[in-house]
Amino acid sequence: MLLGWRKIRAGIGLGLGASSALAELRSGVDDLRERGLDRTGAPGLARWAGEMPPLRAEQRALASQIALGPLHNCRGSAGAGVLTAVLLVVVVGLGCTQAVTGQQSDRVGPVDEQGRRPISVGKVIKKRQIAPVMSVAHADWLVRPERDVQEQPDRVVKKLQIPEGGTVVDLGAGVGYFTWRLAKAVGDEGKVIAVDIQPGMIDRLRETLEERGVTNVEPVLGSEENPNLPEDAVDLVLVVDVYHELQQPEQTMEYVRRSLKPDGRLVVIEYRKEDPNIPIHPLHKMTVDEVRAELEPMGFEFEELKSFLPTQHIIIFKRRI
Ligand SMILES: C[S@@+](CC[C@H](N)C(=O)[O-])C[C@H]1O[C@@H](n2cnc3c(N)ncnc32)[C@H](O)[C@@H]1O
């Protein structure tokens, strides 16, 4: 497997003439194509490229055109620079394919002073721009009259077949649009843990619960990373119009994963980004592929896609043990 990478390295290495270098490069790429990508090869190659002398300005421009931001400082001899750029297209291209298909989870990397792993190290996630958190000032939008028709919350809750007496989490509960419905579904013996990171939303949630006389909901103030959930205790976590705005999705979803019972489910509902006619800003929409490509490497197993809503998809996962 390493043969392909070695040939590529040799192909663009110093001391080879341009034509033999290209031949070696092609042969290396062919080897990789034939045998499949050796994941360990790409980072090694990037490290190696980093040890080469500086690229010329036009080569740097080429590199930037092909969105090689993190590799701009990569160095190469004048003769090898273009080849390096060409090769990096191959490397980055292969890496991106893996990210989209979720084959490679980059769950290692440096942590910051607070011990958090910056989201930029996640190959899977860095391709998506994370939306800003919806502010309390816009909370009334969550109870706009047309929402019941668009999002059909009662039908959604019914279709999820929530176990009576179960424990359900409403992650990013907002003003409680889904929370009180979940509370009804689990019944008096059950419980809903309604998490939000904004105290103003928690206040609005409490008002909703009081107005509706709901008593089996525990409002919880979470942080951007940690939703403060009990471990191995939850039957279902519902995440409606929230995942796209999680600022630390990997960390948050790891806590979510741990909170689920072994047979627990995660239900993500997002506006369909596949449909450009849905009048929601693209940052606030996600495709099924995007959701799956991010969540599967985080320890969730795709179970089912429900597509009965006019503008959203419902994507259901199981906890991977
Ligand atoms: C668009 S609102 C959706 C609210 C609710 N799910 C609904 O469907 O009405 C997004 C909510 O997620 C909350 N949120 C954002 N990031 C969060 C996080 N990391 N943990 C918990 N809540 C979060 C926001 O404060 C906001 O109330």
Ligand 1 contact via 174 beta carbon (within 6 Å): yes
CA dihedral 201, 162, 155, 254 (to 10 degrees): 50
**Taking 80 as the threshold, does the pLDDT of residue 120 lie above it?**
no
Which is the CATH superfamily of the domain at 136-319?
Vaccinia Virus protein VP39 (3.40.50.150)
- The pLDDT value given to residue 30: 54
pLDDT average, residue stretch 123-141: 85
260: enclosing H helix or E strand: strand 260-272
Band of pLDDT at residue 314, cut at 50, 70 and 90: very high
pLDDT average, residue stretch 300-306: 98
Going from the Cα of 174 to the center of ligand 1, the distance in angstroms, rounded, reads: 5
Going from the Cα of 242 to the center of ligand 1, the distance in angstroms, rounded, reads: 5
pLDDT per residue as tens digits for the range 90-114: 443 333 333 322 333 333 334 445 5
Which one, of 164, 212, 171, 177, lies nearest residue 193 by Cα? 171
Lowest model confidence (mean pLDDT) among 50-64, 119-133, 235-249: 50-64
192 close to 236: Cβ distance less than 8 angstroms: no
Going from the Cα of 212 to the center of ligand 1, the distance in angstroms, rounded, reads: 21
Region at 53 (left for phi over 0; alpha for psi -120 to 50; beta for the rest)? beta
Q: Which residues contact 226 (CB under 8 A, 6 or more apart)?
A: 251, 252, 255
Domain borders along the chain are 2-101, 136-319
Pocket-testing residue among 242, 254, 280, ligand 1, by greatest number of atoms within 8 A of Cβ? 242
Ligand 1 contact via 81 beta carbon (within 6 Å): no
Nearest alpha carbon, ligand 1 atom 11? 172
Nearest alpha carbon, ligand 1 atom 27? 174
Which tokens hold the place of 101?
A: 């298909």
Which one, of 111, 136, 43, lies nearest residue 250 by Cα? 111
Atom of ligand 1 nearest to the CA of 252: 19
- The pLDDT value given to residue 6: 56
pTM assigned to the model: 0.66
pLDDT per residue as tens digits for the range 216-234: 999 999 999 999 999 999 9
**Taking 50 as the threshold, does the pLDDT of residue 275 lie above it?**
yes
Ligand 1 contact via 198 beta carbon (within 6 Å): yes
- The pLDDT value given to residue 104: 30
Nearest alpha carbon, ligand 1 atom 14? 172
Taking residue 276's Cβ as centre, other Cβ atoms within 10 Å add up to: 9
Pocket-testing residue among 175, 196, 204, ligand 1, by greatest number of atoms within 8 A of Cβ? 196
- The pLDDT value given to residue 237: 98
Pocket-testing residue among 116, 171, 178, 197, ligand 1, by greatest number of atoms within 8 A of Cβ? 197
**Taking 90 as the threshold, does the pLDDT of residue 172 lie above it?**
yes
Ligand 1 contact via 196 beta carbon (within 6 Å): yes
Band of pLDDT at residue 115, cut at 50, 70 and 90: low
Going from the Cα of 53 to the center of ligand 1, the distance in angstroms, rounded, reads: 48
pLDDT average, residue stretch 185-196: 98
Ligand 1 contact via 195 beta carbon (within 6 Å): yes
Which one, of 23, 68, 73, 67, lies nearest residue 52 by Cα? 73
| Higher pLDDT pick, 190 / 59 | 190
pLDDT average, residue stretch 122-149: 87
Nearest alpha carbon, ligand 1 atom 8? 240
Percent pLDDT > 70 in the chain is: 61
